[in-house]
Amino acid sequence: DTGVSQDPRHKITKRGQNVTFRCDPISEHNRLYWYRQTLGQGPEFLTYFQNEAQLEKSRLLSDRFSAERPKGSFSTLEIQRTEQGDSAMYLCASSLGSPYTDTQYFGPGTRLTVL
Amino acid sequence: KQEVTQIPAALSVPEGENLVLNCSFTDSAIYNLQWFRQDPGKGLTSLLLIQSSQREQTSGRLNASLDKSSGRSTLYIAASQPGDSATYLCAVIPMIKAAGNKLTFGGGTRVLVKP
C-alpha–C-alpha distance, residues A78 and A90, integer Å: 11
Question: Could you tell me which chain A residue has the CA closest to the CA of B31?
Answer: A100
Residues in A touching B32 (Cβ below 8 Å):
101-102
Residues in A touching B95 (Cβ below 8 Å):
none
**8 Å CB contact of B42 and A108:** yes
- List strand residue ranges (DSSP E) for chain A, in order: 5-7, 10-13, 19-24, 31-37, 44-50, 53-57, 65-68, 75-79, 88-95, 105-106, 110-114
pLDDT digit string, tens, across residues B30-76 = 888 999 999 988 889 999 999 888 999 999 999 999 999 999 999 99
The A residues from 2 to 31 touching B (CB cutoff 8 Å) are 4, 6, 31
Question: Could you tell me which chain B residue has the CA closest to the CA of A48?
Answer: B102
Q: What is the pLDDT of residue A72?
A: 84
Interface-testing mutation among B32, B44, B46, with chain A (most A C-beta atoms within 10 A): B44
Q: Using pLDDT thresholds of 50, 70 and 90, give the confidence band for residue B100.
A: low
Residues B73 and B23 sit within 8 Å (Cβ to Cβ): yes
B16 touching chain A per CB within 8 A: no
**What is the full DSSP assignment across B58-89?**
EETTEEEEEETTTTEEEEEESS--GGG-EEEE
Sign (positive/negative) of CA torsion B83, B84, B85, B87?
Answer: positive
C-alpha–C-alpha distance, residues B97 and B28, integer Å: 15
Helix (H) or strand (E) holding B19: strand B19-25
Q: What is the pLDDT of residue A97?
A: 78
* B4: CB partners within 8 A, 6+ apart: A42, B23, B24, B25, B26, B90, B91, B92, B104, B105, B106
pLDDT over 60 at B98, yes or no: no
B4 touching chain A per CB within 8 A: yes
Q: What is the pLDDT of residue B15?
A: 97
C-alpha–C-alpha distance, residues A28 and B21, integer Å: 34
Antiparallel, parallel or unpaired: β B30-38 and B19-25: unpaired
Helix (H) or strand (E) holding B31: strand B30-38
Residues in A touching B36 (Cβ below 8 Å):
106
Prior bond of A8 cis (ω within 30°): yes
Q: What is the pLDDT of residue B64?
A: 96
Q: What is the pLDDT of residue B23?
A: 97
Going by C-alpha positions, the residue among B100, B12, B66 that lies closest to residue A102 is B100
How distant is the Cα of B4 from the closest Cα of chain A, in angstroms? 10
- How many Cα atoms occupy the beta-carbon half-sphere of A13 within 13 Å? 23
Q: What is the pLDDT of residue A11?
A: 97
Tell me the mean pLDDT in the region B64-92.
Answer: 96
**8 Å CB contact of B101 and A104:** yes
B95 touching chain A per CB within 8 A: no
C-alpha–C-alpha distance, residues B97 and B34, integer Å: 17
Q: Using pLDDT thresholds of 50, 70 and 90, give the confidence band for residue B96.
A: low
Question: Could you tell me which chain B residue has the CA closest to the CA of A104?
Answer: B46
Per-residue pLDDT of chain A (115 residues; tens, 9 = 90+): 579 999 999 999 999 999 999 999 999 899 999 999 998 899 999 999 999 999 888 888 889 999 999 988 999 999 999 999 999 999 999 998 776 667 889 999 999 999 9
pLDDT digit string, tens, across residues B7-33 = 999 999 999 999 999 999 998 888 889
